[in-house]
A and B are shown apart, each in its own frame.
Chain A
Amino acid sequence: MQKLLLILVCSTILFSCKKQDDVTVSFTFKTTNKTPNNRPYQLSATKTKILFSNFVYVDKDNNEVVVKDVFLVTSSDNSFQFKLPNGNYTKFKFSFGLDSIKNNSIPSSFPASSPLSVETGLYWDMLKYRFLILEGNIDNSITKNQTPTTPFSMHLGSDTLYQQIVASNFPKIGEQLNITLDLDKLFILDNDNFQITNFSNHSEASEIANGVAIRNSFINSIQTTVTSKTK
């Protein structure tokens, strides 16, 4: 009985320590359901997906420690945890999309649980991995005061759009990094002369510039804060 009690106490301590050591990265989708041009839109919850990768800590000697390879942010899966290795870190970085090595990998080489597997459907034969999928309905009227009924889809991908992001601060053991993604900023190109419903991806040369503009608008609006998990 005493042994059992001892095991129980030890387990509790161990598990509580583990929890304490964990760092959490949590994403939040932010939307007013209006584009910067004040056009109403509604998103499909199941067709809102953004791919991030290469979550790394950087120490004072510029050594990088990868804590997460790839993470697909969706409405239902928006956070992950990891155990932070010891180190004297100065920065935390992560990236929008995939670097060219990952982007040129083959979906069937990943297990079904991976964001890069066939199952997630991020891969297109021609474009390779889509870094961002955004689908829903938008109000395409001139008055911009109607219920959004016109379907739109925005699919961004390709090596060109890979972009590293340096967090303004970084989480330590027992802390959580909160990353806010402002989806309104993805509609930066929406103006009275540009129909977002005519834009799907940047695979054609004429669309690459649009893709870059959207990515920059989106990434520049990303906000990061660190909070304590114990509070």
Chain B
Amino acid sequence: MTKKFFISLCLLCTFSLLFVFSCKKNEEAFKTTPYVAPKIPGFRDMPVDANNPMTVEGIALGKKLFFDPILSRDSTLACAGCHKQADGFSDIRRLSRGVDDLFGRRNAQALVNLAWQKDRFFWDGRVSTLREQALKPVEDALEMHLPWAIAEFRLQNNTVYKDLFFKAFGINSITKEYVTKAIEQFEMTLVSYNSKFDKYTRGEVPLSISEIKGFDIFKTEKGDCFHCHSSTAPEVFISPDRTFANNGLDSVDNVTDFLDFGLGEFTNDLADYGRFKIPSLRNLAFTAPYMHDGRFQTLDEVIDFYSDGPKGSPTLEPIMREKANKRLETTGHWGLDLTPSQKADLKAFLLTLSDSSFVR
């Protein structure tokens, strides 16, 4: 009895010690390093999300996931497959091709300074956070086409990821919520701030005469660009009070005639039909083609489009219609009617927003 009791006591002590040490080991292992966002002159402070605090470990994990095809059905396509760094984290193809050789419906958006893009993500604004955005392509039949349950299973059975998830989040059971949190953290660090325009605003380099003329066109009613793309928000060049617009790409009498309903597809509000998320103008030199459907292959085509004038539809951005009507009354031109020289100046300015150090 005494011997049995003694053995039981020893076993209990051993297990207790093992338990204590294993806990201690976990506590020591799960120690994250907070990420300190750089202070960038001329930029607002990077917004932080209390629900997903950024850590060095979380960002490293997110980066690995972003570049790893493990999240696609046949393990051939990573996020980076359609958001290539060399192309400003965008896709030079008009429509991206998924694992089943099917094409997506819209041009892959460039990823840059996403922390300052608020409200909604995707061209149709169907999600409100980056981590919600990251959930979608994995299961989308036109993209990576992998059920999340399988993605989680794959990661759970991968010793490298198991370790990385523990280090980043202190979890042993990997779920899609943490996968997308990690990707969100990485995407938040895709910060571009060394374009020529950035350097100009920091007083490091001058703009050329043509670029300055182009900036004047951009920020005045000559170009009318500033209504949607304000330079007062230089992080993204998207006006803070405007997230979606119908910029007059298509002419329809009835909004239900739009080939792509855009925001309206998500809200079911007729007033939102044909409206799409206003994109950042950063890194335009690398992010062709342009518009939600990638219809314009070059910046020249984009400028020609605005110079000719928007096409009419019931949800056309009111400012565009008002300005076009006024121009029609006063000058007889519906569009901006830019001269070749003005077009060249505007293009020169727009190209100053590209940051080659970001795409290396």
Q: Which residues of A contact B (CB under 8 A)?
A: 47, 107-108, 112, 118-126, 133, 135, 137, 149-153, 155, 195, 197-200, 203-204, 206
Minimum C-beta distance from B336 to chain A (A): 14
Q: Are B230 and A123 in contact (CB under 8 A)?
A: yes
Q: Which residues of B contact A (CB under 8 A)?
A: 42, 44-45, 218-221, 226-227, 230-233, 239-242, 270-271, 314-319, 321-323, 325-326, 330
CA distance A197 to B317 in the complex (A): 11
> Nearest chain-A residue to B227 (Cβ)?
A124
Q: Are B219 and A151 in contact (CB under 8 A)?
A: no
Specify which chain B residues have a CB less than 8 angstroms from the CB of A120 in the assembled complex.
240-241
Specify which chain A residues have a CB less than 8 angstroms from the CB of B317 in the assembled complex.
151
* Pairs A-B, 10 closest by C-beta atoms: A121-B241, A121-B240, A125-B219, A153-B318, A151-B318, A200-B322, A125-B226, A198-B325, A126-B220, A123-B232
Q: 29 A-B pairs, CB-CB below 8 angstroms?
A: A107-B232, A112-B44, A118-B232, A119-B44, A123-B230, A124-B226, A125-B218, A125-B219, A125-B220, A125-B226, A125-B230, A125-B232, A126-B219, A126-B221, A135-B318, A149-B270, A149-B271, A149-B314, A150-B314, A152-B318, A153-B319, A153-B322, A197-B321, A197-B322, A198-B321, A198-B325, A203-B221, A204-B326, A206-B330
- Set A107, A119, A121, A197: member contacting B318, Cβ < 8 A: A197
CA distance A149 to B270 in the complex (A): 9
Specify which chain A residues have a CB less than 8 angstroms from the CB of B319 in the assembled complex.
153, 155, 200
> Nearest chain-B residue to A137 (Cβ)?
B271
Minimum C-beta distance from B313 to chain A (A): 10
Total A-B pairs, Cβ < 8 A = 74
Specify which chain A residues have a CB less than 8 angstroms from the CB of B227 in the assembled complex.
124
> Nearest chain-A residue to B219 (Cβ)?
A125
Further 17 A-B residue pairs, CB within 8 A, beyond A195-B325, A197-B318: A108-B232, A112-B44, A118-B44, A119-B44, A119-B240, A121-B240, A123-B232, A125-B218, A125-B220, A125-B226, A149-B271, A151-B315, A151-B317, A197-B322, A198-B321, A200-B319, A204-B221
Q: Are B233 and A118 in contact (CB under 8 A)?
A: yes
Specify which chain B residues have a CB less than 8 angstroms from the CB of A152 in the assembled complex.
318
Give the most central of B218, B230, B314, B322: most A CB within 10 Å. Answer: B322
Task: Provide the main secondary structure of the chain A interface.
Answer: mixed
Specify which chain A residues have a CB less than 8 angstroms from the CB of B221 in the assembled complex.
126, 203-204
CA distance A197 to B330 in the complex (A): 16
Specify which chain B residues have a CB less than 8 angstroms from the CB of A118 in the assembled complex.
44, 232-233, 240
CA distance A25 to B330 in the complex (A): 44
Q: Are A198 and B271 in contact (CB under 8 A)?
A: no
Give the most central of A135, A151, A203, A206: most B CB within 10 Å. Answer: A151
Minimum C-beta distance from A155 to chain B (A): 8
Specify which chain B residues have a CB less than 8 angstroms from the CB of A204 in the assembled complex.
221, 326
CA distance A137 to B318 in the complex (A): 10
CA distance A119 to B321 in the complex (A): 26
Q: Are B230 and A200 in contact (CB under 8 A)?
A: no
> Nearest chain-A residue to B233 (Cβ)?
A118
Q: Are A108 and B241 in contact (CB under 8 A)?
A: no
Minimum C-beta distance from A205 to chain B (A): 11
> Nearest chain-A residue to B314 (Cβ)?
A149
Minimum C-beta distance from A12 to chain B (A): 33
> Nearest chain-A residue to B238 (Cβ)?
A121
Minimum C-beta distance from A115 to chain B (A): 12
CA distance A220 to B44 in the complex (A): 39
Specify which chain A residues have a CB less than 8 angstroms from the CB of B240 in the assembled complex.
118-121
Q: Are B242 and A121 in contact (CB under 8 A)?
A: yes
Q: Are B241 and A133 in contact (CB under 8 A)?
A: yes
Give the most central of B230, B316, B330: most A CB within 10 Å. Answer: B230
Give the most central of A122, A125, A137, A152: most B CB within 10 Å. Answer: A125
- Set B219, B230, B322: member contacting A121, Cβ < 8 A: B230
CA distance A121 to B227 in the complex (A): 10
CA distance A14 to B30 in the complex (A): 47
Specify which chain B residues have a CB less than 8 angstroms from the CB of A195 in the assembled complex.
325
Minimum C-beta distance from A11 to chain B (A): 30
Specify which chain B residues have a CB less than 8 angstroms from the CB of A153 in the assembled complex.
318-319, 322
CA distance A125 to B321 in the complex (A): 20
Specify which chain A residues have a CB less than 8 angstroms from the CB of B233 in the assembled complex.
118, 121
CA distance A135 to B321 in the complex (A): 14
CA distance A126 to B215 in the complex (A): 11
Specify which chain A residues have a CB less than 8 angstroms from the CB of B45 in the assembled complex.
112
Q: Are A200 and B318 in contact (CB under 8 A)?
A: yes
CA distance A188 to B240 in the complex (A): 29
Q: Are A126 and B44 in contact (CB under 8 A)?
A: no
Specify which chain A residues have a CB less than 8 angstroms from the CB of B314 in the assembled complex.
149-150
